[in-house]
């Protein structure tokens, strides 16, 4: 077990103290049109606090994080050609896991593996790592990936939905499937992937889905009828696109976690990696990028930023923690902070009514029937609207 200073149980008590009671949020009568200014200020405060104190808060964690034995386990890591995902894939492979790099640039991934094998040579058996193509900007690609994976009938112990975009300052863009790009890459496509891979995850249970989320979800507000922000009611910004997609992912994950019965043996968790120096800032103006590099004291390097994801993907404690949240009908799925402790997501993430509407709308947008999860759990098949076109 990774040496995390205090157990998840302790964090859970803290979460309970801080958490909104379920009633307080489900009884809302007035439809919210956006975040209240207190929630908005809290969001910025949370981000500023993380930025300034993440290194101190996580100072008791070892780096790299020691991993439990994972020799017999298979992990799919999306977006593993860069940043957090690349570090997660390398560490899992070096710890003996079978790692599948699910990436859009297969050539880059193949080159990375070649380099890792050379560096690893002489330290043990060759790394058990492979590449499969996955472009989250195409729902067809997601279906093709899932079909190819399920057809292998191999085990899958953890799906790590890491790939993400934050196109800072860019105008609103849409995928060929017609969805706002942040919403598609950060939420819709990972949601489709998670559901389509359920047969493999069920077969290999206990298994887990880990979503690399962000504290930026505190600034998000999702209108389930306007997930792509096209109604004209709100003016789109890239920050809004990113924050909304991360909040939608937490809401969807919370409902998915509830829909998966304990017997299925699959748990869903979202993690915040902290503020990490990666290529996620590639779209920042060059002056800000330079400043970003000048403040390494505050910003995690990818190794530090990979710890909460690695912890969520491998630590045995997570199973009991998620199960206990399920049993208590807690309104949100497990959310782990950059210091590997449970944290409370935003107040809006606890809005159960909106979460269920986000769930339904998401299934509609990704072309799945509303009972897809139940059918797959019963061993049936589901037909997705996507995947036929090449
Ligand atoms: N860095 C931070 O401070 C921070 C903070 C909070 C949360 N996060 C989250 O952490 C996750 C990883 O981000 P990062 O910081 O490591 O960023 P990164 O270095 O930019 O890595 C993102 C990865 O996602 C992949 N990706 C992007 N679009 C894709 C698509 N359409 N299909 C498949 N893969 C795609 C990228 O592949 P290409 O190389 O081909 O583009 C890359 O491998 C993201 O979900 C991000 O939101 C990061």
Residue 303 has a pLDDT of: 97
Per-residue pLDDT, 14: 46
Cis peptide bond upstream of 210, omega within 30 = no
Residue with CA at minimum distance from ligand 1 atom 2: 276
pLDDT reported for residue 329 = 83
Distance CA 188, CA 185 (A): 7
Q: Ligand 1 centroid to 164 CA: how many Å?
A: 4
Residue segments in the chain with a per-residue pLDDT below the cut of 50? 1-7, 10-11, 14-28, 390
Task: Report pLDDT for 131.
Answer: 98
What CATH architecture is 37-377?
3-Layer(aba) Sandwich (3.40)
Crossing angle for the helix pair 83-94 and 106-120, to the nearest 10 degrees: 40
The full set of domain ranges for the chain reads 37-377
Model confidence over 228-280: pLDDT tens digits?
999 999 999 999 999 999 999 999 999 999 999 999 999 999 999 999 988 87
What pLDDT, on a 0 to 100 scale, did the predictor assign at position 168?
Answer: 86
Decide whether any atom of ligand 1 lies within 6 Å of the 275 Cβ: yes
Determine if ligand 1 sits within 6 Å of the CB of residue 273.
Answer: yes
What per-residue confidence (pLDDT) applies to 33? Answer: 81
43 lines ligand 1 (CB under 6 A): no
Residue 83 CA, ligand 1 centroid: distance in Å: 7
State the virtual CA torsion across 179, 182, 188, 190 in degrees, nearest 10. 140
With a 6 Å cutoff on the Cβ, whether 245 touches ligand 1 is: no
| Ligand 1 neighbour 163 (Cβ under 6 A) | yes
Q: Which atom of ligand 1 is nearest to the CA of 299?
A: 3
The closest residue, in CA terms, to atom 17 on ligand 1 is: 280
Q: Is 242 a catalytic residue?
A: yes
Q: Which two tokens stand for residue 105?
A: 């640039």
Helices 352-365 and 238-259, interaxial angle, to 10°?
Answer: 100
The pLDDT of residue 8: 60
Q: Is the N-terminal amide bond of 215 cis, ω within 30° of 0?
A: no
**Cβ(161) – ligand 1 distance below 6 Å:** no
Burial of 168 (0-12, 13-18, 19+ CB in 10 A): middle
Radius of gyration (Cα) for the chain, nearest Å? 20
DSSP letters spanning 329-364: T-SS-EEE-TTSSB----TGGG-HHHHHHHHHHHHH
Task: Tell me the best of 84, 244, 296, 312 to mutate to test the pocket of ligand 1, counting ligand atoms within 8 Å of each CB and taking the most.
Answer: 84
């Amino acid at each position: 077990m990774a040496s995390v200073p205090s157990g998840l149980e302790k964090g859970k008590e803290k979460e309970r103290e801080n958490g909104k009671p379920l009633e307080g949020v489900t009884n809302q009568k007035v439809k919210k049109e956006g975040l209240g200014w207190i929630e908005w200020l809290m969001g910025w405060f949370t981000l500023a606090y993380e930025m300034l104190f993440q290194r101190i808060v996580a100072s008791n964690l070892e780096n790299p994080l020691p991993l439990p034995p994972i020799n017999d386990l298979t992990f799919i890591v999306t977006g593993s050609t860069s940043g957090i995902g690349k570090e997660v894939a390398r560490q899992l492979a070096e710890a003996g896991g079978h790692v599948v790099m699910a990436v859009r640039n297969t050539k880059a991934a193949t080159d990375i593996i070649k380099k890792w094998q050379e560096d690893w040579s002489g330290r043990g058996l060759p790394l058990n790592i492979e590449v499969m193509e996955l472009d989250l900007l195409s729902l067809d690609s997601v279906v093709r990936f899932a079909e190819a994976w399920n057809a292998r009938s191999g085990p899958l112990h953890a799906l790590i939905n890491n790939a993400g975009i934050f196109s800072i300052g860019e105008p609103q863009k849409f995928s060929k499937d017609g969805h706002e790009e942040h919403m598609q890459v950060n939420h819709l496509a990972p949601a489709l992937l998670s559901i389509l891979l359920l047969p493999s995850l069920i077969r290999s249970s206990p298994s887990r889905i880990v979503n690399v989320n962000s504290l930026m979800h505190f600034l998000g507000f999702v209108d389930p009828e306007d997930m792509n922000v096209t109604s004209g009611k709100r003016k789109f910004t890239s920050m809004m696109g990113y924050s909304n997609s991360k909040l939608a992912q937490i809401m969807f994950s919370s409902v998915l976690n509830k829909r998966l019965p304990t017997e299925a043996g699959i748990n869903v968790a979202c993690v915040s990696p902290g503020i990490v120096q990666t290529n996620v800032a590639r779209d920042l103006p060059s002056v800000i990028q330079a400043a970003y590099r000048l403040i390494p004291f505050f910003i995690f390097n990818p190794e530090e930023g990979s710890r909460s994801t690695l912890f969520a993907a491998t630590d045995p404690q997570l199973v009991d923690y998620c199960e206990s949240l399920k049993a208590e009908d807690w309104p949100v799925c497990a959310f782990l902070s950059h210091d590997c402790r449970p944290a409370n997501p935003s107040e809006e993430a606890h809005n159960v009514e909106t979460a269920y509407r986000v769930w339904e709308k998401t299934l509609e947008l990704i072309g799945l029937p509303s009972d897809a999860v139940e059918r797959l759990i019963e061993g049936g098949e589901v037909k997705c609207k996507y995947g036929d076109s090449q």
